[in-house]
Amino acid sequence: MQCTMLKAKLHQARVTHAELEYEGSCAIDGDLMDMAGILEYEQIQIYNIDNGERFETYAIRGEAGSKIISVNGAAAHKAQPGHRVIICAYASYSSAELINFKPSLIYMDEGNAVKGTSNAIPVQVA
């Protein structure tokens, strides 16, 4: 049995650029991609906290250490510089792989510096 699971998440990253005329994709700081385990050209989902938009694109490597999060092409209509976004990558895992499965969760500050990491989302309380 295969199950699609959250593989990686960049939580509350800030959009630094929205480039309408650039070939579609989302450029992500290469260091952040490596930390999260997001591969270049991997399909990603982006959830815009500030306007509720949810869209799909693919990741491209941005300059390492630049803190860039650039939403490009048609998706630039869905996010603007300064918007807070959640960038997620998903993958399919077999039952055997799920035994030790843990996602890579990266929590960002307002300057796109990493403020924490985890491999589990806290239990939500009522």
Per-residue model confidence (pLDDT) at position 10: 98
59 vs 87: CA distance, rounded Å = 10
Is residue 25 part of the annotated active site? The answer reads: yes
For residue range 38-73, list pLDDT tens digits in order: 999 999 999 999 999 999 999 999 999 999 999 999
Global pTM reads 0.95
| Annotated binding-site residue numbers for substrate | 57, 73-75
Distance of CA 36 to the CA centre of its chain: 8
- DSSP class per residue in 75-110: GGGT--TT-EEEEEEEEEEEHHHHTT---EEEEE-T
Tokens for 29, please give them: 């700081």
**Domains assigned to the chain:** 2-118 (2.40.40.20)
How does residue 24 score in pLDDT terms, banded at 50, 70 and 90? confident
Catalytic residue (choose from 22, 47, 58, 93): 58
| Annotated binding-site residue numbers | 57, 73-75
